[in-house]
Amino acid sequence: MKALKFLAILILPVTVYISFTNTGWLTLLPLFIFFGLVPLLELLFNPDKQNLSKEQEEREKENKLYTYILYITVPVQLIFLGWFLWMMKDSQLTTLEYIGRVSAMGLMCGVIGINVGHELGHRSNRFEQFLGEILLLTSLDTHFLPYHNAGHHFNVATPKDAATARKNEIVYLFWIRSHFQSYYQAWEAQNKRLKNSDRNWFHLQNRMVIYTICNILLLAGIFFFFGLNALLSFTAAAVFGILLLETVNYIEHYGLLRKQNEKGRYERVKRTHSWNSDHRIGMLMLFNLSRHSDHHYNGSKHYQLLKSLPESPQMPTGYPGMMLVALVPPLWFSIMNKKLQDI
């Protein structure tokens, strides 16, 4: 069955398990796999540009197994987070082991907590949205959904969008601008929504109020039950996951802008306003996130239905490899600015 290939996401918790149960260099195994082995393999294998036929699309659209695979990640994330907190409560780790385990949990926060939370957050089913909120809470990135759905998808590829990287913008500065600007815009969107219905901003229907309370309760609970060391370790892991997200944001729309008409209105989002990658491993691990143009063209389309679009801008390798390239700004600019000229 086509859906079973997306169980590849479980490779991540397997490598994190090895990190948590070993010492020394093995604690860095998740990093070596996802930012070493995966980028190397994606350089060796050709992209997969194959799309579902109309008949297959209708069949796979109704296949609940794709959604159940997303559901599986929720208890996995919660179990590993609980284990991480217990382990970091009073651990005597070397600096290497501390970095290894925090980065391992950080990968869980970014790949499962935020990315799967993103997929579920686009669903119309409130239960699935709630699961997405739980995952995002485990990454301290709950403002993502109100900003992403109401702001990013509306303003993408314009100067108004926090998550669209400008040409020649350095990724390290983008991290700061994108995260804090999107947080502000999430509050702004919720406050505007309540104002339009004649409600005060401090209202239980303000999702940012609820999310803020949940974040405070989570952090306070970790401190009370597991102590300061676990709290600091969790915060570091969550920040690592957030930086993974922001790096993905950076590469997804770098330098791409929509045209404005004489009235100042932007053209409709097109399939040319996102960078894409059809490299197999990254697609499987990130639930087809790298087929990003089709996602923006139809934000409610489920991940298994996303298409490779020949007219969409293509990156030279997969998301994990391009994230590494982005960390070296001169190299990134030399590659991607040339590609921008060709669009």
Residue whose token pair is 């922001």: 246
Cα(240)–Cα(264) distance, rounded to whole angstroms?
38
| H-run or E-run covering 189 | helix 171-196
**For 196-252, how does the pLDDT look when each residue is reduced to its tens digit (9 = 90+)?**
877 877 877 899 999 999 999 999 999 999 999 999 999 999 999 999 999 999 999
How far is residue 104's CA from residue 17's CA, in Å, rounded to a whole number? Answer: 9
Hey, how many other C-beta atoms are within 10 angstroms of the C-beta on 144?
27
The crossing angle, in degrees rounded to 10, of helices 11-20 and 95-107 is 160
Token pair listed for 20: 């948590």
Q: What is the dihedral of CA 335, 338, 339, 341, to 10 degrees?
A: 160
| CA dihedral over 171, 175, 176, 179, signed as positive or negative | positive
The answer to whether the CB of 135 falls within 8 A of the CB of 114 is: yes
Listed in sequence order, the residues at least 6 apart from 111 whose beta carbon sits closer than 8 Å to its beta carbon are: 9, 12, 34, 241, 244, 285, 286
Tell which residue, 128, 184, 125, 123, has the closest CA to residue 151.
184
> CA torsion, points 328, 110, 104, 76, in degrees to nearest 10?
-160
Tens of pLDDT, residue by residue, the chain (343 residues): 789 999 999 999 999 999 999 999 999 999 999 999 999 999 998 898 999 999 999 999 999 999 999 999 999 999 999 999 999 998 789 999 999 999 999 999 999 999 999 999 999 899 999 999 999 999 999 999 999 888 898 899 999 999 999 999 999 999 999 999 999 999 998 988 888 877 877 877 899 999 999 999 999 999 999 999 999 999 999 999 999 999 999 999 999 999 988 888 899 988 899 999 999 999 999 999 999 999 998 888 999 999 999 889 999 999 999 999 999 999 999 999 999 998 7
Residues 6+ apart with CB under 8 A from 259: 266, 267
Cβ neighbours of residue 317 closer than 8 Å, sequence gap 6 or more: 39, 42, 43, 277, 279
Per the rule left: phi > 0, alpha: psi between -120 and 50, beta: everything else, 103 is: alpha
